[in-house]
Structure 1
């Protein structure tokens, strides 16, 4: 794809704009997300953005697609290991470079025209992958047959989200450094409650 007068697009400008879009959305939300604010943050002219994206909706959609990684379907043969990896993926999404944008997207996606549909598809894929992990654990006899798939996943995914929301800004780097340990501790805590007795 080329820009004005056949000049090739500069991938560095694309990277800066998408990074700035994630920061602005993460800090200000959809209501205050503007092409002007992204251009200022990225240090580029608005014309450079409009050459690439026709409006702020398409800019945000591109930003989120480039930065939000779907939950992978994990099957290590152990429900505990699968759930730990799931928790690690969720925590990485919440604490990563675009973590604030990811978190805000969970709250605001339904209000953003054109983006809501894309996020709904992503959520559906994530839910199916996560539910498959628990169902395999039940089928292998690692979890009791009456285990609630929904409640188990709510506890783990909700725990990951709460961990991200509760972490004070000045402690986020320190908390992020311990995400692997936290993922294991969280899963062990939840599984302990599910398998007790």
Structure 2
């Protein structure tokens, strides 16, 4: 978390925003090995001192940026398992696209090397599991999925397909991918459901 401003000049929220955006963009592009206060300062167009006044370490800066930009999967409830899985897939698309998406992918690789961030990343992963588990339980209660449906296989297939689709799409086509996400999510769920029900 940024430090409190104390009795000095009030902090400029625009600088806070630029630094956090630069931090998440840099981490997405370079990973933890290329992440430094100096590089974030250069990318944000601010002095290193401005960053150190707000964040005492690069770990604290990255954690704050991750908290702002890489959110947890929220609870999903609709009238059918199909609609719920489509909504989950769309949340995952938003999670993995753009600068934030590249950072989320890097977190999957680097989070265990960054103790300050590891716990938050674990919460994000857990939110995906809990959302999928709730969807499966409701679907079983409604008779849409059989007892014993594997949450793990369902989540691995859905999440893996979304992540692979984003990862395999060249950066130049990412904007187009965002426009077609809903269509892909529907096709993916329609392909997946007959194999688990």
Q: TM-score, normalised by structure 2?
A: 0.94
- Partner residue in 1 for 2:167: 165
Aligned length, in residue pairs: 195
How far did 1:114 drift?
1.4
How far did 1:127 drift?
1.3
- Partner residue in 1 for 2:158: 156
- Partner residue in 2 for 1:147: 149
- Partner residue in 2 for 1:133: 135
Within 5 Å, which residues of 2 pair with 1:5-154? 6-154=8-156
5+ residue gaps, structure 1: none
CA contact (8 A) 1:73 1:130 kept: no
5+ residue gaps, structure 2: none
Q: TM-score, normalised by structure 1?
A: 0.94
- RMSD (CA atoms): 1.4
CA contact (8 A) 1:57 1:114 kept: yes
